[in-house]
Amino acid sequence: MTHLEEIIRSETELVVLDDAPAWREFHERVLRRAGFGLVNSYPAQPSLLFDHLNNARGRKADLVVFGVQPNSEFSWENLRLIRGFFQGPVLATMERMDADARARILDLGVHDFVSVGDCGEEGLELKVETAITAYRINTLIDENDQRTQRIFLNIMTVMVKILENKDPYTRFHSHSVAIWSRMIGRRRGLTEEDLIRLGLAAVFHDFGKIGIPEEILNKPSRLTDEEFAIMKQHPTIARDLLSSLDLMHDLLPAITHHHERWDGRGYPAGLKSDQIPLWGRIICIADAYDTMASRRTYKEPMPPERVLEELHKGRGTQFDPELVDILVQILAEKAAESAEKEKNGNGNGNGNHHALSDGNGNQPAPNPHLA
């Protein structure tokens, strides 16, 4: 293989293996409805996959979707056997997947997994496509690393465009958060290489919202408790969707944990203080700052004094105290620089403190529910 082949869904052959007939039918129905024209489903027995692959009609499998029964050792053993003789990509699915199940799946050499109960039909569809794409990317790595890097960047660009189309509020917010994250990270002493990776994690920090219903994502008023519980799934949805890409693995902790709080009352894992990955702590405060400083559909940007008040209020509770001090210092320096420009007649006169304003006081507006 010398180039990345386009995924043509109608010609892509999927094999669904699941011992639960209802789940087997669910996977087949969802994938056929998503346009995958060649979907074969069987009970999760290695012999049936082996027979399928050796069928005289020349059947193959671009991806095996294996439904794991977490409480059945027989199911885990069948997954191990399949991973042993099938060299193509395998996607493990469960209705609900905890950390122990993910670790066990990884130990079996399966790098793609998805919690269908959390991601839903759209998440399953996206994960199938990313798993196939990731397998093809990884196949190319040893052949031509430079070409693979270009392909990877192109795929990331497409992913960002998909997210922007689903939620217009994130169009500038994610890139704004990346810029602020890099500024904070530089003051924190990160290397230039780490700053590049941190910026990339920040760009994708809200990628999991692609699996959140649009009526929740774009709701202009306060979310209900039930809606907010769904919204809180977006970090783990991002982790599951992006875990197929080897070049994203070092970014996943930051993406997964950017809504943790210093006092341990955040999500998804309730980590506290130094348990939270540093990059996640940086993205957390950059995300919150950009949200406060940005115009929304239902509010104007907070004035600079109010933003500083909220940052100090969150010091040691929501945010890493050291990072609050760093950001406050950056903002003070930018305020002084802006004042000097105003004094010399070089400012735009609007007094807006946000470094990423478009010059008319308009801020990149993030989603209103993720501060």
Least reliable range by pLDDT among 132-146, 160-174, 259-273, 350-364:
350-364
For 178, the domain range is 164-371
Under the banding of pLDDT at 50, 70 and 90, the label for residue 361 is: very low
Q: Judge whether residue 352 has pLDDT over 50.
A: no
C-alpha span between 168 and 68 (Å, rounded): 36
Q: Are residues 15 and 80 in the same domain?
A: yes
> What pLDDT is recorded for position 276?
97
Cis peptide bond N-terminal to 268, omega within 30:
yes
What's the mean pLDDT in 228-235? 94
Is 159 within the bounds of a domain?
A: no
> What pLDDT is recorded for position 140?
63
Q: Are residues 137 and 239 in the same domain?
A: no
Under the banding of pLDDT at 50, 70 and 90, the label for residue 359 is: very low
> What pLDDT is recorded for position 309?
96
Q: How many domains does the chain have?
A: 2
C-alpha span between 127 and 303 (Å, rounded): 41
> What pLDDT is recorded for position 367?
34
pLDDT tens by residue, 37-65: 889 999 999 899 888 888 746 557 889 99
> What pLDDT is recorded for position 343?
79
Q: Are residues 284 and 207 in the same domain?
A: yes
Q: Judge whether residue 136 has pLDDT over 70.
A: yes
> What pLDDT is recorded for position 105?
92
Q: Judge whether residue 166 has pLDDT over 70.
A: no
> What pLDDT is recorded for position 144?
56
> What pLDDT is recorded for position 59?
58
Q: Are residues 106 and 172 in the same domain?
A: no
CA-derived radius of gyration, the chain = 23
* Domain end residue (candidates: 143, 178, 213): 143
Going across the sheet that includes 13-17, the strands are 38-42, 13-17, 63-67, 90-94, 112-115
* Domain end residue (candidates: 143, 172, 200): 143
